Amino acid sequence: MKKITLSFLMIAIAFIAIAQQKQFDIVSYNLPKGFTEDKTADRLTVTKDGGTKGFCIITIFKSIDASNDSKKNFDLSWEELVKKIIPVNQPQMQPTVTEDGWTTEVGSSVFEKEGINGTAILLSSTQNEKLVNIQVLLNGEDYIKDMSAFLETVKMKAIASNTGGQGSPAVENKKPSNSKKAIDEIKTGPKADVWVYVRASVTDITTLTAKYKPNYFIVYPNGDYYPGFPLDGLHTLDNTKKQNDSWGKMIMNGNKGKFQSKYDVIELEKVSPILMKRPGYTYQLRKMVLVDGLLLDGEWGPYADWEKQPHLSPAGYNGTGVRNVIAFKKDGSFTDYGFFVTNLSAPNQEAERKPGKGTYAIKNFTLLLKYDDGRMIYKALTGAGSINPAKVDKVIYINENPCYKAGYSKMK
């Protein structure tokens, strides 16, 4: 197979809008003849498969919050969307293109995987702290025209600036200095109550070791409920846009009622405004305290008395300072020493998980971490059951996992 030339990219990324008939997120497009499409909540994939003649796979990812540094956005996206799944080298970059207020960085690299040779291309477009990524996997020069035909129909909506001024502000002027500025980055849809019960499940049949796991019910004022807790919090959960059939209805008649869905019927009895029970069961459902505007102060780790372990001490793993600990301050700043890192010996292996510092905010059961390097990470955050974390924060839950404050045993 000949090496695919990339000079066509300067034409392809012009994003000429012609006959926009389809819409995904903030992106409009036309589906060329011979392409099929598959759409999920977070991505649109269009494919043309020619069998032995090659293929063209184009994926448009849902827009996300990001910095205004288009090259930094591209670098982070290349690590996450290309390098993690395909054996590629450093990307060959094309000149930056600005069109309709969007700044687009384009990079590409040839790859070989399981006997297939091809080219991976990433187009990262930034405007007013919004980022849209388009990934292309191409095998066969015959598909260059097909790819170009699709990209020429792509157009993205303009994103209004948050500053009230003109143009895209510099990153330094947009970076929040405290939690009050960052909290506006957390979207709020219809407000919901969160009910939870903790159930023990046997995880080791030989030792009968039990693990305690919280079970959540997100209940909206009209009775719609969702049986679970999104790992990025509630800021994007919307009962007016149900994207799967797990949703159900909470039906109450006085103090009696039930959760009813396609898959389950759970009988309920309301004991108080913050407590419900299931007839015939010992566990109770507790209404969780709102955490809007919560400010924390201290360090949290993965288990009780974690600070006594050498690899979780300030020296960190092998003296590197990297450890699965995150620190919050009352001024709205945080330091992530490697809290989300899965391999402490390679803390930068996954760009989204690497250590860093920044500003945080908590709203709608959502923790927003705005890193100084431009990352914006959303995580679910709650207190422990009906305990108000503004008063008792020795245990908080991040992504449904209990996180213990330093000195936990002394606070018991």
Same domain (yes/no): 310, 268: no
Q: Which of 268, 287, 306 is the last residue of a domain?
A: 287
52: domain CATH number is 3.40.1000.10
Q: Is residue 161 part of a domain?
A: no
Same domain (yes/no): 405, 317: yes
The total of structural domains in the chain comes to 3
The sign of the dihedral angle between the CA atoms of 172, 174, 179, 180 is positive
Among the listed ranges 100-114, 265-279, 379-393, which one has the minimum average pLDDT value? 100-114
* pLDDT at residue number 117: 80
Mean pLDDT of 147-167: 67
Mean pLDDT of 63-73: 87
Parent domain of 254: 193-287
Q: Is residue 171 part of a domain?
A: no
Same domain (yes/no): 98, 133: yes
Q: Is residue 181 part of a domain?
A: no
* pLDDT at residue number 203: 45
Same domain (yes/no): 241, 264: yes
Residues 6+ apart with CB under 8 A from 275: 284, 285, 286, 287, 386
Count how many Cα atoms sit within 13 Å of the Cα of residue 145 in the half-sphere of its side chain. Answer: 3
Same domain (yes/no): 199, 257: yes
> Average model confidence (pLDDT) for the chain?
81
| DSSP state, residue 371 | E
Same domain (yes/no): 133, 61: yes
Strands (E), 54-192: 55-61, 64-65, 92-93, 97-99, 102-113, 116-127, 130-139, 155-156
Among the listed ranges 10-19, 88-97, 205-214, which one has the minimum average pLDDT value? 10-19
The sign of the dihedral angle between the CA atoms of 299, 304, 306, 308 is positive
Same domain (yes/no): 93, 13: yes
Does residue 141 sit in helix, strand or coil? helix
Count how many Cα atoms sit within 13 Å of the Cα of residue 133 in the half-sphere of its side chain. Answer: 25
Q: What is the pTM of this model?
A: 0.55
Count how many Cα atoms sit within 13 Å of the Cα of residue 368 in the half-sphere of its side chain. Answer: 29
57/246 Cα distance (integer angstroms): 30
Q: Is residue 164 part of a domain?
A: no
* pLDDT at residue number 13: 43
* pLDDT at residue number 412: 56
Phi-psi region of 364 (alpha: psi -120 to 50; beta: other; left: phi over 0): left
Q: Which of 253, 287, 321 is the last residue of a domain?
A: 287
* pLDDT at residue number 40: 86
Same domain (yes/no): 52, 152: yes
Strands (E), 205-302: 209-219, 224-226, 248-253, 256-261, 265-272, 275-277, 284-287, 298-301
* pLDDT at residue number 183: 63
**Spatial contact of 50 and 142, defined as CB atoms under 8 Å apart:** yes
Q: How much helix, strand and coil, in percent to the nearest 5, is found in the chain?
A: 15, 40, 45
**Spatial contact of 44 and 60, defined as CB atoms under 8 Å apart:** yes
DSSP H or E segment with residue 171:
helix 171-174
284/239 Cα distance (integer angstroms): 25
Q: Is residue 170 part of a domain?
A: no
Place of tokens 């080298």: 89
| DSSP state, residue 53 | G
Residue 111's pLDDT band (boundaries 50, 70, 90)? Answer: confident
Same domain (yes/no): 330, 264: no
Same domain (yes/no): 271, 320: no
Q: Is residue 292 part of a domain?
A: no
Place of tokens 């006959």: 19
DSSP H or E segment with residue 146:
helix 144-151
269: domain CATH number is 2.40.128
* pLDDT at residue number 209: 45
Q: Is residue 1 part of a domain?
A: no
Same domain (yes/no): 349, 279: no
Residue 62's pLDDT band (boundaries 50, 70, 90)? Answer: very high
Residue 112's pLDDT band (boundaries 50, 70, 90)? Answer: confident
Same domain (yes/no): 203, 95: no
Of the candidates 304, 130, 105, 275, the one whose C-alpha atom is nearest the C-alpha of residue 193 is 275
- Per-residue pLDDT of 18-60, as tens digits, reads 344 688 888 888 887 788 888 888 899 988 877 667 788 899 9
Q: Is residue 359 part of a domain?
A: yes
- Per-residue pLDDT of 172-181, as tens digits, reads 333 334 455 5
Type of residue at 334: F
